[in-house]
Amino acid sequence: MTSPAAFAGLAALMGDPARAAMLQALLSGEALTAGELARAAGIGAPAASAHLARLVEGGLVLVHPQGRHRYHRLAGEEVAAAIEMLGGLATAVTPARRWPHGEEFRQARLCYDHLAGRLGVALYGALTGRDWIAPAAGGWQATEVGESGLAALGVDLAAARRARRFACDCMDWSERRAHLAGGLGREIAACCLRRHWLRRLPPLREGDPLARRRLALTPEGARQLDAALGVRLVA
For a second copy, the binding residues (CB under 8 A) are 1-17, 19-21, 24, 58-60, 75, 78-79, 81-98, 100-101, 105, 125, 135, 138-139, 165, 168-171, 173, 175-178, 209-210
Residue 222 CB burial class (10 angstroms; 0-12, 13-18, ≥19): middle
Cα(100)–Cα(170) distance, rounded to whole angstroms? 24
Residues 6+ apart with CB under 8 A from 90: none
Nearer to DNA, 12 or 145 (CB): 12
Query: Footprint of DNA on this chain (CB under 7 A)?
Result: 12, 16-18, 33-35, 38, 43-54, 63, 66-70
Minimum distance from residue 153 beta carbon to a second copy (Å): 22
Phi, psi of 53 (to 5 degrees): -60, -40
From the list a second copy, DNA, none, which binds 170 (C-beta under 5 to 8 Å, kind-based)? a second copy
Q: Which does 222 bind (CB under 5 to 8 A by kind): a second copy, DNA, none?
A: none
Whole-number minimum distance, CB 93 to a second copy, in Å?
Answer: 4
What is the nearest approach in angstroms of DNA to the Cβ of residue 20? 10
Q: Give the nearer residue to DNA in terms of CB position, either 18 or 167.
A: 18
Q: Measured from the CB of residue 69, what is the shortest distance to DNA in angstroms?
A: 4
Closest to 229 in 3D by CA, of 177, 174, 192: 192
Give me the helices (H) in the chain, please.
Answer: 4-15, 17-26, 34-41, 45-57, 77-93, 104-107, 118-129, 144-153, 157-162, 182-194, 219-229
